Amino acid sequence: MSIRNQIISMFLIVVLPSFAASAFLLIGMRNIVRDKSLETAASNAETIAFWIQDTVSMGEQCAENICDNRTIREFVTSQHDSTDSSSYYRFYSENTITRLVNVPSQVSNVVIYMDRDDFVYNSSFVKVNAAVRGSEWYKTALENDGPFWRVLKNSTGRANLACIAPMISGNEVIAVVVVNLNDTWLDTLSINDTLYVLLSLGENVYYSTYPSIPTGTELSIYPDFDATVGVTTHSSGVYGFTSYAVVKNTLVNKDLHQVTLFLSPGFINYEINTASVIYGSYSALMIILSLLITLLFTNTFSSRIKTLSDKMHEVTGGNFNVDFTDNGSDEISLLYSDIGQMIETMQKLINDNYEAKLQSEAFKLNQVQAEFKALSSQINPHFLYNTLETIRMKAYVNNDKETADLVKKLGKFMRRCLEFKDAEVPLHSELEFTNAYLELQSARFGDRIKYHFYSEVKGDYMILPLLIQPLVENAFVHGVEASKGGGRISIRVCYHGEYVYIDVEDNGQGMSPEKLRELEYKLEVSDTSSGKSIGLTNVHKRIQMYHGKKYGMRVQSEEGKGTTIRLVLPREPQIHEKGAQTNSNIQL
């Protein structure tokens, strides 16, 4: 198969699954649009329910203010001369309920019903007739001692929500106050025009934009659940509505209000179809453009590769005078140029072949000489060990056992240093080596220095060599060497969770915060440029290279109170990838 056909095949292999994935995404997006519409409706239902609660509170407060208003109560209870209506007209002209009481904007009007024959009434103070006297809400008002809500019809026959409260004097109801809410108060809410809204108090609808259920309709509460359940979504069946409906029940002062929002099926389908058309058109356009670009690219690419292949066939036939030039500015042009330069240098490479062989022979000779020097360097340590052993024997013969013992310890110490290899050794061997160093220092400092070993880790635990001794040497040089007496060094090896801690603690002069931060920075960047703290830096770097970044050295020091250096090693022996990265932090 040609390169052109291979690229087209690869394009189809990539695009077809992408097309299938786009189809699944489109289906998922349609569900997201639907769910988003339902979430918006549920949020609107919560908002309306909250507004109903707030409006009910204001309506009840208004009714209570009217019942408690001193001027209104005196006017209602006072005896007036029915033959002289001037006092009534004077009161009506000088006083209105709106003036006497702070009436909220949601209230359309206030009516006070009274059952007195010796009273002159107007539009606000109304005589109780037979219809009112026989109504359920009026009877309930005579029996209640506080405000309650009902759906009443106004003079135009339109149902609206009203707060009813008895005005009580002593144990007698002297009047019934009816606070009528504006029947268009809900129009001020910002509700999506695509939603049908239905509000009901108990079984009475007091607001509706759903054509099938006009205002004033009586219907049973749907669905039948406690008001504390909150918002529910129904796909169909709510009051005969065939699309989605969101129902919110809210209990306000023992009265059950229900908010029902109906999502227009045309709106949901329009949103889903619009999103589908936009997304589908975009996907199709991207696939077509990708195919056209791929075809254009493959035609140009294939022709240039074919030309290059023909010229290479001429070169393989022995013709080195082929012109490898290309007018492009991409990788293929660089390939043309590189092949041309390669052919120009082929003859030179043939001429240089013999010289390369001579250089190879010279390299082998140098390697032999290097091996000889390395072999010679191994002789010198043996001479040194033999010389130290001779000195030790002479001291022993002269009955200077202390000097002989020190020379023996020095020999062991130097042998360990000179035979150092970066491979693990048993813990007991490393501790013995450190102990030898301490014994040599004890011979130097005498009673000025005390040291102590403690280990709860098994002696066959494997550890890199020369890890503990540099820490002890640092404690001598920078910690207790300057002390006139009472110097103490403690070496502790213990388990801590998944780690092994090796602590070297001294009671020397310690470090200032500035020096401690400088040392921690050097350990972090493995800085040995200053020539100071090289031993500590090397130990830290060797541990991290062998075990990983989560292990290494931690330093804690306080000026005048000593220093503690901790080595953090893995508890379980295992093969570690050198230089492994990790984000773990080990605290001292």
Per-residue DSSP letters for 330-373? SHHHHHHHHHHHHHHHHHHHHHHHHHHHHHHHHHHHHHHHHHHH
Is residue 581 within 8 A of residue 549, CB to CB? The reply is yes
Q: Which residues, other chains included, contact 404 with Cβ-Cβ below 8 Å and sequence gap of 6+?
A: 392, 393, 395, 396
Residue 143 CA from chain centroid, whole number: 60
What's the number of domains the chain is made of?
2
In a domain, residue 259? The reply is yes
pLDDT in tens, 146-163: 899 999 887 677 788 899
Residue 216 main-chain phi, psi, to 5 deg? 95, -5
Q: What is the CATH number of the domain that holds 527?
A: 3.30.565.10
In a domain, residue 390? The reply is no
Q: Closest by alpha carbon to 469, among 388, 524, 527, 536?
A: 536
CA distance 126 to 424: 107
Region 411-421: mean pLDDT is 62
Is residue 532 very low, low, confident or very high in pLDDT (cuts 50, 70, 90)?
low
Residue 252: give the domain boundaries.
1-281
For residue 122 the two structure tokens come to 């107007």
What Rg value do the Cα atoms of the chain yield, rounded? 50
In angstroms, the first-to-last Cα distance of the chain is 65
CA distance 117 to 128: 10
Is residue 557 within 8 A of residue 511, CB to CB? The reply is yes
CA distance 527 to 106: 78
For residue 81 the two structure tokens come to 């001369």
What pLDDT is attached to residue 309? 76
In a domain, residue 3? The reply is yes
Final residue of a structural domain among 281, 309, 330: 281
Q: Which of 81-90, 150-159, 275-284, 424-433 has the highest mean pLDDT?
A: 424-433
pTM score of the predicted model:
0.45
Strand order in the sheet with 245-252: 204-208, 195-201, 255-263, 245-252, 231-234
Is residue 579 very low, low, confident or very high in pLDDT (cuts 50, 70, 90)?
very low
In a domain, residue 345? The reply is no
Q: Closest by alpha carbon to 515, among 474, 545, 468?
A: 474
pLDDT in tens, 223-262: 655 555 677 777 777 787 777 888 888 888 778 888 888 8
Position 385 pLDDT exceeds 60: no
Per-residue DSSP letters for 2-33? -HHHHHHHHHHHHHHHHHHHHHHHHHHHHHHH
Final residue of a structural domain among 249, 266, 281: 281
Position 175 pLDDT exceeds 50: yes
CA distance 208 to 542: 81
Other Cβ atoms closer than 10 A to 177: 26
pLDDT above 70: percentage of residues in the chain: 75
Q: Closest by alpha carbon to 539, among 467, 478, 475, 473?
A: 467
In a domain, residue 512? The reply is yes
Q: What is the CATH number of the domain that holds 9?
A: 3.30.450.20
The answer to whether the peptide bond before residue 223 is cis (omega within 30 degrees of 0) is: yes
Position 383 pLDDT exceeds 80: no
Position 548 pLDDT exceeds 80: yes
Is residue 305 within 8 A of residue 19, CB to CB? The reply is no
Is residue 428 within 8 A of residue 540, CB to CB? The reply is no
What pLDDT is attached to residue 384? 55
Other Cβ atoms closer than 10 A to 171: 6
In a domain, residue 416? The reply is no
CA distance 199 to 211: 13
CA distance 222 to 82: 52
Final residue of a structural domain among 248, 265, 281: 281
pLDDT in tens, 331-372: 777 777 777 777 777 766 756 776 767 666 654 554 444 443
Q: Which amino acid is at 115?
A: D
Is residue 171 within 8 A of residue 64, CB to CB? The reply is no
Kindly report the CA angle at 101 between 99 and 102, in degrees rounded to 5?
95
In a domain, residue 358? The reply is no
CA distance 307 to 330: 16
For residue 531 the two structure tokens come to 């020539």
CA distance 440 to 448: 13
Position 505 pLDDT exceeds 60: yes
Q: Which residues, other chains included, contact 300 with Cβ-Cβ below 8 Å and sequence gap of 6+?
A: none
In a domain, residue 244? The reply is yes
